Amino acid sequence: MQIFLMVNDFSIDEFLGGRLKIKQPLRGYRAGVDPVLLAASVNAYEGEDILDLGCGVGVASLCLSQRISGLNIYGIEIQSDYAALASENSKLNSLDLNIINTNIANLPESLRQMQFDHIIANPPYFDGLSSTASLNEGRDTSRIINTPLADWVLVMAQRLKQKGWAHLIYRVDRFDKLFPLLNARFGSFVLTPIVPRAGRDAELIIIHMRKSGKAALRLESPLCLHKGGNHLADCNDYTNKVEDILRGRGELTSWIKNN
């Protein structure tokens, strides 16, 4: 991501090597690498229906739409200002998204009648009662669990087609809270740890899982974000694989080979 333009309290950032222009607030939650990696890992095909739970300003959905044409994407976002930005970003990039400003536990009847080929999400991970609040309400809502994780998992299970895939990106240090809920409703898990550098512990994990899936859980080799042992200025040290993904030249769908 690179800042292309700043206007008042917003920036317009370039994603996928400039293929996408994304307007987002300068303060509060700002989309970065995570939604790009998540979108790159989705094994969707033209004409399929996608549900993005907690879509924010629309980065994951727009990256996916940029990579695969003809998708029918619905984004759910509880924060009205972020939902408005997602709609604006859809128009800015001439990519169709259906953005709905609501809680995931209160989907409109039209969506409750639908089932989806894929669901993508980056669920919140801090308990709202035990976490220290940040200085920005938007960032709090994006990170803190106000809707119980069990409700997120239930909605995914209800809205996913039989043999459909759900794709999440989540913090490793909170994975123990999430996995028992997922394991009760999904199968055929494929887990891809994300490490900041070679030899470091994983901080994030991409989770792929299938409704009514029967395959054994598989742990993929870690995805390494950065080269070397030290951070270079302006994030110019991404590994070649990650750089290709961030520039819109690569994807992360090799995990599907055995499923």
Q: Which residue has the tokens 């970065």?
A: 32
| Distance in angstroms (rounded) separating the CA atoms of residues 31 and 25 | 10
Residue 171: phi, psi to the nearest 5?
-75, 135
Q: Any idea what the CATH number is for the domain that residue 82 is in? A: 3.40.50.150
Answer for the pair 192, 206: CB distance below 8 angstroms, yes or no.
yes
**Is residue 145, in this structure, part of any structural domain at all?**
yes
Mean pLDDT of 176-196: 97
Q: Residue 183 is part of which domain span?
A: 33-258
**Is residue 143, in this structure, part of any structural domain at all?**
yes
**Which of 112-116, 158-162, 230-234 is least confident?**
230-234
**Is residue 15, in this structure, part of any structural domain at all?**
no
**Is residue 12, in this structure, part of any structural domain at all?**
no
Mean pLDDT of 106-121: 97
- At residue 29 the predicted structure's pLDDT band, cuts being 50, 70 and 90, is confident
Q: Give CA separation, 133 vs 30, 57, 130, 139, 140, in Å.
A: 17, 21, 9, 9, 7
Q: How many domains does the chain have?
A: 1
Which of 145 and 86 is assigned the larger pLDDT? Answer: 86
pTM assigned to the model? 0.89
- 30 residue type, one letter: R
Percent of the chain with pLDDT over 90: 77
Question: Does the pLDDT of residue 69 top 50, yes or no?
Answer: yes
**Is residue 13, in this structure, part of any structural domain at all?**
no
| Distance in angstroms (rounded) separating the CA atoms of residues 47 and 37 | 22
- Tell me what pLDDT residue 84 has: 96
- Tell me what pLDDT residue 1 has: 54
Burial 232-245 (b: 16+ CB within 10 A, else e): eeeeebbbeebbeb
**Is residue 217, in this structure, part of any structural domain at all?**
yes
